[in-house]
Chains A and B, each alone.
Chain A
Amino acid sequence: MIEVFMLGTLVAVVKAHTYFDVVPGAGIWAFGVLTLLITVFSSLDPRELWTITAGDRA
């Protein structure tokens, strides 16, 4: 969902630009990296965890 939010921000900035100036700050880079990281994270397969921990039953 984060990538949709990112795109939503972009559209919002463009729309707001018709009314006043919008200048990107440093945070936009951090948010960009965060988007990337979360996308990578959420594409991990949780089933892998069952394979890795197959031996240690609690």
Chain B
Amino acid sequence: MPSQLLERNFASRMLPLAIAAGLIAFSAPPLFYRFASISELKTHAEIYAAQLASSVEEAAEQEPFFWRYNTSKIMWSTSAHRLQEDIGTVTIVDCAGKTVFDGKELELGTGNASGPTGWAAVKVGNRNIAWVRVIMDTAMHRKRYLLIMLFSGCLGAVLGLLLFWFPRRVVRRQAGLLTNTIIRLEKAEKDLTEANLKLSRRVRQAVGAVRSISERLIGVQEEERRRIARDLHDGVGQAVTALQITLKLMRARPSEAKNHLAEAERSAEEILKEIRAAVFALRPAMLDAGDLEEGLRDFVERFELKTGIPASLRATGDLSAVSESLGSLLFRILQESLTNISRHAQAKEVGVTVVVETDCLRLEVSDDGRGFDPEDVSHGSGLRGIKERVSFAGGEMALKTSAGRGTQVMCRFPVLRRGDER
């Protein structure tokens, strides 16, 4: 875990620092105290020596010769020093280097000469007659030193622990937060990956759908071409063939040409009629003229004439404002629907409704034919084409049918007005 690694790294760096701080806290106070106490003892030693030297001087001035044999009494009389428990030894040495007083005689001092030494000269007139030497005892300070060391040891240990423990605790907490953040980020990354996968799937599906629509459109175009070719072959072709035969007869028998002239004219009219029907099937001229409603109405009427099934168109709203592309789409959907009805529905009546509203356009084609089972895929190719066209235009299609109850195809488009096209 990153948090544990972070904590371990931090601990390994913090530990020497905490130990160093603890050692400093442990050693600094005793060292400082030792330095200060030695310095203080040195000063005390010099003061005590000076006090004693002063007393000796007084005695020596009174008894210049015998003072040296009376040092015990002199020391007794200078009693102030007896109360100082930090005096180790007191010695008086004359100019010849002979000890004329040793504190041991009076049990003066602790006898432990472990501290600093203070010297003071005993002067009579301008002449040094002796030296007083005081050596201090550090025992009392040693006890304090040990106490301070104990205290500073505890202080150093506590400080070291605090320096190590507190930051480590903070780092542990922050590392925990970091870990949680990392976990959340990992989850977010995982979610994002899944979302990307879903999106990729949908893109692939959309691309597939577009490809399918393109293929379907190509198929429709091919079907349309085949139908035109068939219509030309079956209609125009046969009529042209008949006209050709009539014209050959007229050439072969010029005498009977008058009899065949009327037939030739009929064939020519038939050819023209077939060509017009084919052209209309491709694209009504009304659409190019910009009159959608008239074009749709003309198509419905032609359907009625061609199939003999009564058909009606009800248009509501301003169809003239509908864009050319949406108009073409409506025409194609109507064409497909009516073709389906003529081929399969066995309908007795067909109704077409077009409604233009503020923000949408609805097209509804209904018949009272035999209907079909919507789950039956064999009925689906024409309807699938309609659905794809509607979807391509951003609209929705709904189908309402069942066996024996007719069929209702309902399409809804976001309205696209003239001038909105790019």
Do A and B make up one complex?
A: no
